[in-house]
Amino acid sequence: MPHFEMLLAELSAQFVNLPSDRVDGVINASLQRIAETLGIDRATLGEVTADGQDGFVTHCYAKACIPPNKVQSVMTEVPLVMKTLFAGETLIVRDVADLEEATDRENFLRYGTRADLVFPLIVGGELRGGLAFSSATPRDWPERVVRGLRLIADVFANALARRRADQALRESEAQMRLAAEAAQVGLWVWDIPGDTLWGTDRARTLYGMAADAPVTIGLFLDRLVPEDRPRVERAIQQALAGGGTYREEYRIRHPDGQTRWICATGQCQWGGDGRPGRMMGAGIDITERKQAETALRRALAEIQTLKDQLQQENVYLRREIEEHQGATRIASRSDSMRRVLAQVGQVAPTPASVLITGETGTGKEVLATALHEASPRRGRAMIRVNCAAIPAALIESELFGREKGAYTGALARQIGRFELADGSTLFLDEVGELPLEAQAKLLRVLQEKEIERLGNPRPIKVDVRLIAATHRDLAREVAAGRFREDLYYRLNVFPLHLPPLRERRDDLPPLVESFVEEFAKAMGKPIEAVAKSSLKALLNYPWPGNIRELRNVIERAVILNSGSLLRIEPPTLAGHPAAGSASAAQAGPATLAEVERSHILRVLEATGWRVRGAAGAAEILGLKPSTLESRMLKLGIRRPV
């Protein structure tokens, strides 16, 4: 027996680090040596079928006078063997004549077997096959032999499992390579401690590397266009520091002088020592896409240049465009407004969210309408929401809708503004007035692009282009904690700022002309011209109420006018609450307090009695809101009911 035990030790050592492609040959040789050493007539190894319900012979050694075992269904021919293996037990048969089942007995004898010893091959609790040793004569199986052969059965089981895993890995790699080649993707692996880069043939072609040349990270970086190298190095360092993903687009210089654009993605993996071990990734050639983008930018620039030339050279054409495109319906001659309208033309075709800022009365809603009418969504009506005019308790149902019975008083189902605006544009005027709770829900809708009606948890997908407007400084509101920072960045994708009328006085004449024509036509008055003195006076007025105030002044003037020449009186104390005080003071010069009171009243009227915030009365007067409120109290100024 010492010779047998030495054989087992030798065979076990052969399977340590044995390449998977040599497992079958070593198993066959081992079966022969074991059979010859123990004087056994036949040694057989079988594996279970893919469904795990049967077994079949894969390896067999038999003496010249003994028929080899070629069973392809162990369950059919010797069911006792299969049942014993499924139970995870060893089958020991000293004489098949003692077997009760005739099928097992007859088939054993048919293969010349009188004694049999069968071990299950189990890996990870799963039956992988069986190892059988057969004798043509009845035979005892000593315990030491059984223990030794059970050990070699475990060695065979692990070797077969490793071979199967390697085979599956090779098949997976072959499939991955085939898919990568079909998609023209180059796969690469960077061994970070060893500083070596492995790549598929496609990857080496992408990066201009010879098929058999060793590649390091330094060689790769040297191939980069110098302008791209710092950015790529930073991205690699960030991925190594955080163990995260890596994605960059950069240019590679090939040895033949070509420059190709590559889009590469990778994932950094940590080693057992807690440090970066390797980075795996893929690269794809995006040169054609980059060239197409460059050509598109050039074409758009040429189109913009031609458009500008046409606008400058042909007044008639410009007016025709004004009748059909919302962005040019806004009467404007000032450079600041032309810049705004140019930005409208750029953002209108896109689905990007737009945030319009500006003082009260500057025409934010008009600009939003122009932007919508210049967009691909102009076929559907723009839905408008004045956030300042809706009570906080009803904001959610107004925006997202409600089901009948969602809350007390909800007597009918209501479609929300977001749902009404599906496929169109939603304009949120005075978005800075939204309460924080409504801001959080609005942010979720912008992120998920779906809403939930009150009383119905089922999400509804919506395709809405959002335009928001506010007279507030939202950056200050964020700093003060009154507006969510994440919502601010969601809304402020493309900011547009409308300058106040006092900063665009060149626009005042066309605005006056437009409003006069509008009101004269509506009232049926034959107004042919505006007095030059009136136009000069209008140009000298600061217009704290902006275009809204100008429109109201012109409407009043048209109502009062009786001839073909319109005379417009700029806002003064006449028509303001301070007029009574001014009349009472006609007997003598006004006191300082009366002048101050009149001026404050005039500004409050122009701003709609808004004291605080951007374009509020306090800001226009150059006072702190608390100081203005104190002066109002002292001068007896109260907001009219």
Residue where a domain terminates, one of 473, 499, 525: 499
Q: CA–CA distance from 320 to each of 314, 324, 348, 366, 584 (Å)?
A: 10, 7, 19, 19, 53
- Average pLDDT, stretch 491-516? 90
Strand partners, 156: none
- pLDDT (mean) for 145-173: 83
Residues 522 and 409 grouped into a single domain: no
Highest averaged pLDDT of the listed ranges 103-112, 147-156, 393-402: 147-156
pLDDT of residue 196: 85
Q: Which stretch of 32-41, 195-204, 323-332, 586-595 has the lowest confidence by average pLDDT? A: 323-332
What's the number of domains the chain is made of?
A: 5
Question: 396 and 429, same structural domain?
Answer: yes
On whether both 37 and 151 belong to a single domain, the answer is yes
- The C-alpha atoms of residue 99 and residue 539 are separated, in whole angstroms, by 118
Give the span between the Cα atoms of 573 and 394, in whole angstroms.
40
Residues 281 and 353 in one domain: no
Do 210 and 345 lie in a common domain?
A: no
User: Which structural domain range is residue 50 located in?
Assistant: 2-167
Structure tokens of 415? 């479609």
Grade residue 314 by pLDDT with cuts at 50, 70 and 90.
Answer: very low
Q: How many CA atoms lie within 13 A of 167 on its CB side?
A: 11
Closest CA to 132 of 46, 73, 63: 46
- Which tokens sit at 229? 């190298």
pLDDT tens per residue across span 64-87: 888 888 888 888 888 989 999 999
Tokens of 22: 């040599």
- Which stretch of DSSP H or E encloses residue 513? helix 508-523
493, 507: one domain: no
Angle between helical axes of 592-606 and 625-635 (0-180°, round to 10)? 120
Higher pLDDT, 230 or 622: 230
Residue 358 Rama label (left phi>0; alpha psi -120 to 50; beta): left
pLDDT of residue 583: 39
Residue 285 pLDDT more than 60? yes
Q: Look at residue 321 and tell me whether its pLDDT is greater than 70.
A: no
In the chain, what percentage of residues exceed pLDDT 90?
A: 23
Residue 123 tokens read as 């890996």
- 172 within a domain of the structure (yes/no): no
Do both 105 and 150 map to the same domain? Answer: yes
For residue 574, give both structure tokens: 């006449």
The more confident residue out of 504 and 326 is: 504
Q: Tell me the C-alpha distance between 221 and 219, whole Å.
A: 5
**What is the reported pLDDT for 467?**
95
Q: 504 and 336 in contact (C-beta within 8 Å)?
A: yes
601 and 495 share one domain = no
Which of 545, 566, 587 is the endpoint of a domain?
566
CA 263 vs. chain centroid, Å, equals: 18
Q: What is the pLDDT of residues 605-621, one digit of tens each?
A: 878 888 888 778 888 88
8-state DSSP, 228: T
Asked whether residue 574 is assigned to any structural domain, the reply reads no
Cβ within 8 Å of residue 3, ≥6 positions away: 37
Domain co-membership, 558 together with 585: no
Tell me, yes or no, whether 97 and 128 share the same domain: yes
CATH number for the domain that contains residue 437: 3.40.50.300
Distance from the first to the final alpha carbon of the chain: 114
Task: Provide the mean pLDDT of the chain.
Answer: 83
118: its two tokens: 């069968």
In sign, the C-alpha dihedral spanning 425, 426, 432, 436 is negative
Together in a domain, 590 and 544: no
Residue 52, pLDDT score = 87
Q: Do 355 and 474 fall within a single domain?
A: yes
Q: Which helix (H) or strand (E) holds 468?
A: strand 465-470
Residue with tokens 């009188």: 114
- pLDDT level of residue 305 (50, 70, 90 thresholds): low
